Chain A
Amino acid sequence: MWERVKTFASEFFVTGDPLIYGADVSIVITILGIVIGLTYFNKWGWLWREWLTTVDHKKIGIMYILAAFIMLFRGGVDALLMRAQLAAPEMNLLPPDHYNQIFTTHGVIMILFMAMPFMFGLFNVMVPLQIGARDVAYPFLNALSFWLFFSGAMLFNLSFVIGGSPDAGWLAYPPYSGIMHNPGVGQDFYIWGIQISGIGSLMTGINFIVTILKMRAPGMKLMKMPMFPWSVLSSCIAIIFSFPILTATLALLFLDRYAGAHFFTLDGGGNPMMYINLIWMWGHPEVYIIVLPAFGIFSEIVSTFAKKKLFGYKSMVYAMMIISILSFLVWAHHFFTMGSGADVNAFFALTTMLIAIPTGVKVFNWLFTMFRGKITFETPMLWTMGFIPCFIVGGLTGVLLSVAPADFQFHNSYFLVAHFHQVIIGGVVFGYFAGLYYWWPKLFGFKLNERIGKWAFWFWNIGFYLCFMPQYALGLMGMTRRVVTYGWDKGWWEMNLVSTIGAGLMGIAFLFQVWQIVYSVKHLRKDETGDPWNGRTLEWSIPSPAPVYNFATLPHVTSQDEWWEEKQRRLQGHPAPAPVKIEPIHMPKNSGIPIVMSMFWFFTGFGFIFDWLWLAIPGLVGVAACMLVHSFNYDTDYYIPVEEIKRTESAIRGVTS
């Protein structure tokens, strides 16, 4: 009996690597610490009522962002390990199979479990406030989306201590990801982790489209909407059309692995190239899904800190909509070398180059907005200034890559690695940081420390250029992507060393950011105004942090930068609009179903990964039961009475009004 337990455990848990044992210990200690802390301070009930069952978009947003930060840490450690291994020739820090696992988990985590939740977090915290709504269209679904993402992410991360990590790259190309070459459970963790969180992403896409189309404050025509909700709309359109492709493709891969199908195998009439074709139909829109909201954030920030109306509002809207549709027409540029012939390559090279046009339009719009503005350089604006040159270079190298014949040289070299890190770090990550710094005071009621923020900014930027500029050159010198090591004779080591140093600087930058948050909480200086940046859009018209119901009375919108115009009107001596009579506010009730249902999904996934039907089937039954229970639950909403609203308002607005 004991022997059987031992053999099971040695296969079930990942063993033999001191790094992983260290991680095991730290995971156990962290979990114990959290459990003991919650019990000691008697906070379980609070956690359950205020956070785990919440349907409040602001709290869900904060949880998304927190999860994204934790994932940024995990993905960042992966990155630093890889850079350490490549710092000098013939290093032996990571064995090749471990290196494969690390670059795989790094990519998946950074895109799907860092960028996506960070983005959804920003959608959640700001879209309803900016369009003058009291919540998203489907608050219950919103909570479910979050918990599905969380289950998927946890399932994926578990692979690192249980069963073994996936190692077939962030897009898991067959045949290597097929059962024949990859019989372990790693690829199954990949499939189920992404599938479960993918359902959540799709639902968030639907939720925000409906929210933006149907829940704008009275008077806010689409063309009077702030730019961030526009970018969210364009990104969500791409989500609802591309995520089903991902789900279908991974389902086919799952059937290949689990049920012996032959969609992507080399035998039985399958074709692995088909997988590559399908996965990029999601993969390319995905990169635009994550970058479009960053464009929206920069637009808001540029106009706030230049104190000018955004230049070319309409062209910005059209540019974003065009990008979100055009992003479905370029996917083959990721496999020019597959050999689809000159016609195919020429067509997709052209469509790819076309995308650079609307992108360029946006850059000019930002520059013209700044032109003759009274610019101030607080941290959100600083990140925007860092973004513009970085993204221009990244976009230009993208155009180089889109020249199909030249891509035969660049493809899967470090040149490509440098390109996509430049657009993703310089565009997406900088954008989300800018958004977080910008909206932080609205979320928590105080600003983050500017001085430490500036250190973080410079470390990120200098680190970025040191890390990735040499990689362009290395790529041209022949260094291919995903190599585990290289020889002294190649002449690559100096630049690799520089690159590793740059990565280290970005690691330090991350620590600065953590310190910045801790420091700002300790030396908290409450922002009483609710409008610390002299903002232009509706979110700044309410107190920070916003009360549960956001707006005591719904604003009536007449112009594009409504709050700015309102402030101008008041400065010119027009009286503030007469207070509208407060009425009871209709709000959604908390629900425990989202988290419970996501737990059942987790068990289902885990059961399929290990082929334990005794776990997978009860998991699915649980999911169905949760749906049933929710469909018969009619007690889903309540009214906040007028008295309570008045009390809350006078408490937060204090003496000011």
Chain B
Amino acid sequence: MQHDMSPSHADKNHGSLKSYTIGFVFSILLTIIPITVVMSGWLAGKASAIILMVTAVLQLVVQLIFFMHLREEKKPRYNLLTLILGLIILLVIVIGSMWIMMYNMVAL
């Protein structure tokens, strides 16, 4: 058995019923909030945009912690490293595009 084909069998400690329930409740909440904000029209313009973005980021965090088990990873923490690199590249994309496009408001 030691020549296991799949590397994912190595770490078996995947969460508990409690952590899954908490994660599920959080992610449902974080879905309902933006929907109600948009559908009911409580907030408009910038305020609603901010709420949408904040809930989206929180949703990402919830998914990573409760379902992707980011905290339970053993060393070397490749998943965490990849995530950080991904975030850096995301920042490059967003900030870089804004910087480049600032001079290019031809369509406005």
Contact = CB atoms under 8 A, between A and B. Distances in A.
Contacts of A213: 78
A588 B6 CA distance: 9
A139 B6 CA distance: 9
A134 B103 contact: no
Interface in B17-75: none
Contacts of B92: 328-329
B85 A241 contact: yes
B104 A583 contact: no
A137 interface: yes
Contacts of B10: 214
B107 A271 contact: yes
A271 B5 contact: no
A332 B95 CA distance: 13
Interface in A120-161: 134-135, 137-139
Contact of B3 (A240, A344, A585): A585
Contacts of B100: 277, 332, 338, 340, 344
Nearest to B89: A241
Contacts of B1: 586
Nearest to A549: B3
A278 interface: yes
Contact of A269 (B82, B85, B103, B107): B107
A270 interface: yes
B104 A339 contact: yes
Interface in A568-601: 583, 585-588
A637 B99 contact: no
A277 B92 CA distance: 12
B86 A137 contact: no
Interface in A58-83: none
A417 B105 CA distance: 29
B80 interface: no
Contact of B106 (A134, A273, A329, A586): A273
Given A241-B89, A328-B92, A273 B5 contact: no
Contact of A241 (B86, B103, B107): B86
A627 interface: no
B45 to A, nearest CB: 16
A271 B7 contact: no
Nearest to B2: A583
A272 B105 CA distance: 10
Given A241-B86, A245-B93, A277-B97, A344 B6 contact: no
Given A271-B107, A328-B89, A215 B7 contact: yes
A273 B3 contact: no
A400 interface: no
A81 B101 CA distance: 38
A586 B3 contact: yes
B8 to A, nearest CB: 8
B5 A277 contact: no
Contacts of A214: 7, 10
A341 interface: yes
B97 A278 contact: yes
A327 to B, nearest CB: 11
A270 B108 CA distance: 8
A269 B3 contact: no
A479 to B, nearest CB: 28
A274 B4 contact: no
Nearest to B90: A241
Contacts of A586: 1, 3-5
A341 B4 contact: no
A214 B93 CA distance: 30
A554 B86 contact: no
A135 B101 contact: no
Nearest to B1: A586
Interface string A230-271: 000000010011000100000000000000000000110111
A210 interface: yes
A344 B97 CA distance: 11
Nearest to A135: B5
A241 B88 CA distance: 10
Interface in A30-58: none
B103 A341 contact: yes
Contacts of A237: 85
A134 B2 CA distance: 13
Given A241-B85, A245-B93, A274-B97, A210 B104 contact: no
B78 A270 contact: no
B29 to A, nearest CB: 27
Nearest to B7: A214
Nearest to A335: B100
A292 interface: no
A583 B89 CA distance: 45
Interface string A390-422: 000000000000000000000000000000000
A587 B5 contact: yes
Contacts of A585: 3
Contacts of B105: 271
Contact of B104 (A267, A338, A588): A338
A506 interface: no
Contact of B6 (A138, A241, A245, A331): A138
Contacts of B107: 266-267, 269-272
B97 A588 contact: no
Contact of A281 (B93, B102, B104, B106): B93
B1 to A, nearest CB: 7
Contacts of A344: 99-100, 103
A583 B3 CA distance: 9
Contact of A340 (B78, B103, B108): B103
A271 B97 contact: no
A311 B12 CA distance: 42
Interface in A328-361: 328-329, 331-332, 338-341, 344
B54 to A, nearest CB: 21
B106 to A, nearest CB: 7
Nearest to A137: B7
Contacts of B85: 237, 241, 325
Contacts of B102: 340
Given A269-B107, A325-B85, A637-B5, 4 more contacts: A135-B5, A269-B108, A340-B102, A586-B4
Interface of A: 134-135, 137-139, 210, 213-215, 237, 240-241, 245, 266-267, 269-274, 277-278, 281, 325, 328-329, 331-332, 338-341, 344, 554, 583, 585-588, 637
Smallest CB-CB A-B distances: 8 pairs: A214-B7, A271-B107, A341-B103, A273-B104, A340-B103, A340-B100, A241-B89, A586-B5
14 contacts: A134-B5, A137-B6, A139-B5, A267-B107, A271-B105, A277-B97, A278-B97, A281-B93, A328-B92, A329-B92, A340-B102, A344-B100, A554-B3, A583-B3
